[in-house]
Amino acid sequence: MKFTWFNLMPWPYLPDDFRERYRSVWVDIPNRLYDPEKGHFLYHRYMDLLEYADAVGFDGIGVNEHHQNGYGLMPSPNLIAAGLARRTSRAAIAVIGNSLALYNPPIRVAEEFAMLDVLSGGRLLAGFPVGTSMDTNYCYGQIPALTRDKYAEAHDLVMRAWQSEEPFAFDGKYNQLRYVNLWPRPIQKPHPPVYIPGGGSIETWDFCLDHDYNYSYLSFTGYLRGKKLLDGYWERVAKRGKDESPYRAAFAQTICVAETDREAEELYAEHVSYFYNRCLHVYLGFADAPGYRTIKTIQANVLNALSAEFQNLFSTLTWKQLVDDGYIIAGSPQTVRQRMEEMIKGLRIGHVFGLFHIGNMPDWKARHSSKLFAEQVMPHLRDLWPEWRDDDRWWCKPLPYRARPEEGLAAARQDARKPQ
Amino acid sequence: MKTNTIETARGCRVRVFEAGRGAPLVFLHGAGGLLPDNPFLDRLAARYRVLAPELPGYGESSGEALLEDMLDFALHGWDVITALGLQRPHLVGHSMGGMIAAEMACLAPGSLDKLVLAAAAGLWIDEHPIPDLFAFLPFEYAQALFHDPAAGEALLTGGLDLRNPDALMEFYIAHTKRMGMASKILFPIPNRQLSKRLYRLTAPTLLLWGKSDRLVPPVYADRFKSLIPHAELQLIGEAGHMLPYEQPDAFVAAVTRFLG
């Protein structure tokens, strides 16, 4: 099993009456609610937490891209990842990821990911989400009905750019480039492992299987509901005659560990409530632009986690319901271990993207939970897939000898010394 | 009205509503498509040969993937007219259909007789932003589209019982197909630089607007008028953006007077 510590980087200062006063946490949330001075300290706190996760032994540290919102403060996750590459040396850096259709030209993604891979010594996991409708259509103005076509073309361009050793011309519908010639190129060959985060579009399954990419299901309705979707994915895997390595799939899960079940509720309930009630308070008119989801997906009746039904439900959920219904995994190390095992086996996943910092949680609680998980949960879950122990197809392959920029400022500030 | 399905040279299959005899009049519908009842078309058919094609993605027309941008949409309009074997028809376009009709007329100014632009989309004025219909919740449409929203609501759904989950799903899918198609020329800002091309327009033109249009307010009629100096402008009272549906008599009278 591989465990990646994910930070959404929410804005933790949304007012108590946010739901009543504002229609959406995304797209048109007034940016006067963002205080850049507080933001300065917040970025560093959040980056410190990611570095802490590396220090306590998580396999990966993860960031992602969202725009114009109080849910996640990383319009450019690559900037955060670059900072992490300098101050960590071990964990994979999971950028899940860059929304390909939003970059003009998308060769920018190939370049920046190659930079990150080189900078980190080959530790990059490269995610290519289509992006939420809020981000892609309403914030970045992409035409909903053409978003997937543009994404597919951008994907082809990036993958070819990463693997080509000669300049080539690219004659696309959305991108025409006379000279594609990537400097730098990524360290990992033939390319960094690719993760495709899906919210439930069934076309994405075939796309992942066509290219042997990891399918990452990101949902906030928890693993019990996620099972229906991942069962569909594994059926598709079988039908396509692909091997059933659990590392083909990842799942994002909110996790809260404390000394006891009761302490978990006392410490974390208010922050989980903040997340579900304020960070997911998305205006329904922004949740799903017409044409963004395909008709096939709509007909498959895949649940939209931002539907009115779920948003109303979120506001009424008690801690007990959140835990019992599997929205979150919370409790003592023993409880969490048991629920995690149930989730991992039930969904057949080799990667967990764990959300440990939640809503407006103070740092110490995120550290407390993360440390307990790393020390008392993770070791027991490592070997749940013994028959796939050596399957590293979806993990990074760093250089064995790497620079150690994290080892201090002293070396960086030394005066010139002629090599002996 | 009778319907028949034609295939354009590009390969789109298009359902066309047709009735009446006389000079050919092609009606191009707006982003919401033709409604279940279109009484203004029946009345126009008393005097003209009315042809109302549905865009791919609307009703039973298909081939929407073949149309991606404004030029595709405008050429498709002419492809339909060619497939129908029409010579110099009148073009009457409503809302998004007005935008398409205007583009068609700019591409081939000599290939139409007269042009009617009713509450046409296609321009953008920073001081008067058009509401984002792609972010509307279902109940907001009638509010933005009609002078009398309560009466408009019934026109939009055509009496469909949306409490029935199957009916709701069917309506939702049809709506998604229509608006997904419309997004190709209207999203995120309904402006594909038509204003740069309107100088080419030579056909006699009538601009017809509802006085209470809250979606594309009458200030847009004035902007069209300034860009098409030979156009005639007529406002209709107690009508919103859906003026052909809300005031069919006044709409038909104005169109008939202008077309002759």
Q: Find where tokens 């994910």 sit.
A: A6
CB-based contact, A79 to chain B, within 8 Å: no
Show the 3-state SS of A217-232: ECCCCHHHHHHHHHHH
Q: Within a 13 Å sphere around the CA of A372, how many CA atoms are in the beta-carbon half?
A: 23
Q: Which pair of structure tokens corresponds to residue B40?
A: 């203004």
- Residues in Cβ contact with A321 at an 8 Å cutoff, skipping those fewer than 6 apart: A327
Structural domain that includes position A168: 2-412
The torsion of the CA quartet A38, A43, A44, A46, rounded to 10 degrees, works out to 120
pLDDT one-digit tens code per residue, B112-170: 999 999 999 999 999 999 999 999 988 899 999 999 999 998 888 777 777 777 888 88
In this complex, is the C-beta atom of A289 within 8 Å of any C-beta atom belonging to chain B? yes
Q: What's the sign of the alpha-carbon dihedral B155, B161, B162, B165?
A: negative
Q: How many domains does chain A have?
A: 1
pLDDT band at A304 (very low <50, low <70, confident <90, very high): low
Kindly state whether B36 is in contact with chain A, defined as any CB-CB distance less than 8 angstroms: no
What pLDDT, on the 0 to 100 scale, is given for residue A418?
A: 87
| Percent of chain A clearing pLDDT 70 (strictly above) | 98
Q: In chain B, what is the greatest distance between 2 CA atoms, to the nearest angstrom?
A: 50
Contact A290 B175 (CB under 8 A): yes
B180 CB within 8 Å of a chain A CB: yes
Show me where the domains of chain B are located: 2-259
Q: Give the pLDDT score at A314.
A: 81
A362/B contact by beta carbon, under 8 A = no
Query: With respect to CATH, is domain B2-259 assigned 3.40.630.10?
Result: no
Q: Give dist(CA A395, CA B187) in Å, integer.
A: 39
Quick one: what percent of chain A has pLDDT higher than 90? 85
Taking the C-alpha atoms of residue A305 and residue A156, their distance in angstroms, rounded to an integer, is 29
Q: What is the CATH number of the domain that holds A218?
A: 3.20.20.30
Quote the DSSP letter at residue B129. P
pLDDT tens-digit series, residues A373-411: 999 999 999 999 999 999 999 999 999 999 988 887 887
- How is the beta sheet containing B24-28 ordered, strand by strand? B2-7, B13-19, B49-53, B24-28, B90-94, B115-118, B205-210, B232-236
- Which residues in A110-218 belong to E strands, given as ranges? 124-127, 168-171, 176-180, 194-198, 214-217
Q: Please check whether residue B177 touches A, CB under 8 A.
A: yes
Residue A143 Cα, gap to closest chain B Cα (Å): 6
H helices then E strands: how many in chain B? 9, 8
Secondary structure class of A253 (helix, strand, coil): strand
- Please check whether residue A333 is in contact with residue A320, taking contact to mean a CB–CB distance below 8 angstroms: no
Any domain includes A418: no
Type of residue numbered A336: V
pLDDT given at position B165: 78
How many residue pairs from chains A and B have C-beta atoms closer than 8 A? 58
Minimal Cβ distance to A285: which of B137, B175, B180: B137
The pLDDT of B35-39, averaged and rounded, is 92
Neighbours of A229 (CB within 10 A): 22
The candidate with the shortest Cα–Cα distance to B117, out of B208, B222, B43, is: B208
pLDDT of amino acid A323: 96
Give per-residue pLDDT as tens, B173-227: 999 999 999 999 999 999 999 999 999 999 999 999 999 999 999 999 999 999 9
Distance CA(A381)–CA(A307), nearest Å, equals: 34
Pick from A28, A143, A301 the residue to mutate for testing the B interface (most B CBs within 10 Å). A143
Residue B179 CB neighbour total at 10 angstroms = 23
Q: How confident is the model at residue A143 (pLDDT cuts 50, 70, 90)?
A: very high
Confidence of residue A305 (pLDDT cuts 50, 70, 90): low
Contact B180 A286 (CB under 8 A): no
What per-residue confidence (pLDDT) applies to A228?
Answer: 86
Which residues of chain B from 181 to 210 reach within 8 Å of chain A, CB to CB?
Answer: 181-184, 187-189
Distinct helix (H) and strand (E) counts, chain A: 16, 11
* Residue A55 maps to a domain: yes
Q: How far apart are CA B213 and CA B144, in angstroms?
A: 8
**Average pLDDT estimate for A67-89:** 97
Instruction: Tell me the chain A residues in contact with residue B182 when contact means C-beta distances shorter than 8 Å.
Output: 290
Coil vs helix vs strand at A319: helix
Interface of B with A in 86-115 (CB under 8 A): none
User: Is position A196 within any domain?
Assistant: yes
ipTM, 2 dp: 0.93
pLDDT of A301 strictly over 70: no
Are B211 and B107 spatial neighbours (Cβ–Cβ below 8 Å)?
A: no
Average pLDDT, chain A: 94
